A = this chain, B = another copy of it.
Amino acid sequence: MIRLLLIVLMSGWCAVAGLQCCRAGDRPNFVIIYADDLGYGDLSCYGHPTIRTPNLDRMAAEGMRFTEFYSAAEVCTPSRAALLTGRYPVRSGMCHNRFRVLRNNSAGGLPRGETTIAELLRVGGYRTAAVGKWHLGHLPEHLPPQHGFDRYFGMPYSNDMLPSADAPAGRGKFFVEQNDYWKTPLIRGTEVVDTAPDQRLLTRRYTEEAEQFIRESDDRPFFLYVAHNFPHVPLFASAEFRGKSLAGIYGDVVEELDWSVGRILDALRSRGLAENTLVVFSSDNGPWLIFDSHGGTAGLLRDGKGSTWEGGMRVPGIAWWPGRIPAGVIQREWACTMDLLPTIAGLSGQSLPQVTLDGADIAPLLLGTGSVERDAYMYYRGTTLYACRRGPWKAHFLTQTGYGVPEPERHDPPQLYQLRVDPGERWNVASEHPEVLADIQAAVDRHRATLQPVETQLEAVVPVQPAAVQQ
């Protein structure tokens, strides 16, 4: 009741003061919404013909839609490490050529020496919450509360990583929508609160948790990280969405994610926070093409998850901040998830961690105030550098499809594509542009000079024991 009264009084004061309390001068809130295995071509505003995403389309129309936005890895664990630290995962040990991601028996996790966006903001007085998939270490010492988050509710790793004993072997189990086959737990804080959650309700539960956190806003700014488990397989949607899309279960799941985004933006609007909150939507990597109708599409891009072709790492990227980000802009400069840490640091006035950062402060792009100088973007698969982009040019030293080919193909000279002319990477123009290859090689050499040896976090194992996360 007192809280309600305070809200009413503050709302009145805001109105009188012309919403000064929620505008420039105050430190903004930040919300990152991250999908899992959502492809570049899976949203209506990115050209999907049948999946309906009115909330994300509206978010793009009111904000900025990036056409060349990258995750920093081709699979889940390294991608999330990069997002939260602003660094290539090769710097944190959060990638591996054989193991690729953390598993349900992994002992490792994001090293404590790494600074996350949440830590950086919590030092500055922000409320912080992580909702959803973590996948940066499931032992208690690796969970979000150890990495700057006041609150955590979600799954410690992918929703397919703890099949039940009666789940059939092989890939058939992914196509039957049998919730009993999956036992990935739900955790609150560092405690398991549900050992076999109904995955059909997962998107809804995450959404309610996010709304709750927004509703509990006080006079402190906040950082909310919502990492959905879907559309990673196995796919589940709530009864309200199952069977409702034109595009099968995959469409149902993406349309429920779209609903979730709409709910979160509505929660911000209804609290009067929209104009003081930067919201970014993206995905951890490209679509998992081997799953056919249970996987997405990279649109016109080549290949998907697990590959360093564009389809593996270029993902949807939408930024929304009414009144600050100009509405309806299609942003064709490239950017990446690693840019979020330095950008958020700048916008919140927090100091940058004293480590090598790979992202750039892209506030000038977002706010329409200028351009951003960039050197190059590195496409890693595990700990191996496969490709490098500089300006519109991308050189592939190695290529490997996401369809499960065991060995990469080596290219000497590298293959070269001009991505703005040839986003589908269809014709190799290396022989015509030796000078570009030399320029890219110099960028790679500069990058390599900044690398330090680091112990991998993805090898060490413990017994599989979901209860291990219980305290």
Contacts and interface: CB of A to CB of B under 8 A. Distances in A.
B50 A423 contact: yes
A426 interface: yes
A332 interface: yes
Contacts of A330: 44, 52
B47 A420 contact: no
Interface string A282-318: 0000000100110001111000000000000000000
Interface residues of A, number: 33
A251 interface: yes
Given A41-B300, A297-B300, A299-B41, A332 B50 contact: yes
B300 A50 contact: no
A246 B392 CA distance: 9
A422 interface: yes
A427 interface: yes
B247 A424 contact: no
Given A247-B420, A251-B421, A297-B300, A426 B47 contact: no
Given A246-B332, A293-B421, A427-B292, A46 B47 contact: yes
B50 A297 contact: no
Interface in A32-81: 41, 44, 46-50, 52, 67-68
Copies of this chain assembled into the complex: 2
Contact of A292 (B50, B68, B426): B426
B421 A247 contact: yes
Nearest to A294: B421
Contacts of A418: 248, 293
B47 A300 contact: yes
A299 B289 CA distance: 16
Interface of A: 41, 44, 46-50, 52, 67-68, 246-248, 250-251, 289, 292-293, 297-300, 330, 332, 392, 418, 420-424, 426-427
9 nearest A-B pairs in the assembled complex, by CB-CB distance: A47-B47, A49-B67, A248-B421, A50-B420, A246-B420, A292-B427, A299-B300, A41-B300, A297-B300
Given A293-B418, A293-B427, 18 more contacts: A41-B300, A44-B330, A46-B47, A47-B300, A49-B300, A49-B332, A52-B330, A246-B420, A247-B420, A248-B420, A250-B421, A289-B426, A292-B426, A292-B427, A293-B421, A297-B300, A298-B300, A300-B300
